[in-house]
């Protein structure tokens, strides 16, 4: 799984929800050190924990009674039906398979987008798979791979969600074409200074199967509105 600790927080959330709805749930819930948490605080705790794992549990049908039983037996040091190591192995196996299915669905969405986008007459596709659309053709020089360029840009996912923007920061960005993702390196060498393009970059020319810690998921197609200001001398 992407984050085992998040998953176990999710187990706590689900167990708290089950305990809340159980006929055996008392009005007060003692913690491990004897402190008593009233139902309002316990409920609030469940909401806070749930905020960390809502997406991981979305669409899953959970047997909350069985989940609550495992939660209670482990928390109270009772004899459990399986060992903790076995539990971890089972959970990871199931969620790895779920993640694999979700990943494949996401990859297919990205591929379908590029296939349909490439059919538009105004969109050009290079041999590498990079797609671009000319908004304004520039009149200046064309950069080489070793050049540094100054640009304004907005980056979005295919659903239009913005993940980065120099415009929001209020100033253009400078970077070497040797130090960016391949889609940018290739795309800017198609442009001239003063040009404005839209780049549609498949994951193979972006962050691939690993994604980026900055919020780019694995296999993401990236869309950039780029305003090529100048080559930095």
Active site residues: 153, 163-164, 181, 207, 224
Residue 215 contacts residue 163 (beta carbons within 8 Å):
yes
Q: What is the largest CA-CA distance in the chain?
A: 76
């Amino acid at each position: 799984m992407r984050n085992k600790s998040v998953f176990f927080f999710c187990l706590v959330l689900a167990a708290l929800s089950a305990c809340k709805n159980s006929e055996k749930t008392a009005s007060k819930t003692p913690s491990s050190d004897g402190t008593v948490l009233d139902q309002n605080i316990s409920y609030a705790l469940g909401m806070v924990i749930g905020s960390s794992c809502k997406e991981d549990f979305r669409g899953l049908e959970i047997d909350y009674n069985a989940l609550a039983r495992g939660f209670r037996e482990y928390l109270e040091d009772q004899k459990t039906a399986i060992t903790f190591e076995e539990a971890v192995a089972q959970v990871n196996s199931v969620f790895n398979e779920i993640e694999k299915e979700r990943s494949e669905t996401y990859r297919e969405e990205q591929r379908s987008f590029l296939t349909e986008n490439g059919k538009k007459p105004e969109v050009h596709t290079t041999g590498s798979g990079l797609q671009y659309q000319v908004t304004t053709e520039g009149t200046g020089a064309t950069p080489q791979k070793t050049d540094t360029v100054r640009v304004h840009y907005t980056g979005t996912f295919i659903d239009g969600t913005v993940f980065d923007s120099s415009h929001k920061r209020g100033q253009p960005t400078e970077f070497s074409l040797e130090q960016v993702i391949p889609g940018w390196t290739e795309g800017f060498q198609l442009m001239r200074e003063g040009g404005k393009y839209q780049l549609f970059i498949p994951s193979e020319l972006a962050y691939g199967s690993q994604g980026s810690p900055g919020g780019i998921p694995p296999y993401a197609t990236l869309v950039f509105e780029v305003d090529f200001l100048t080559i930095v001398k």
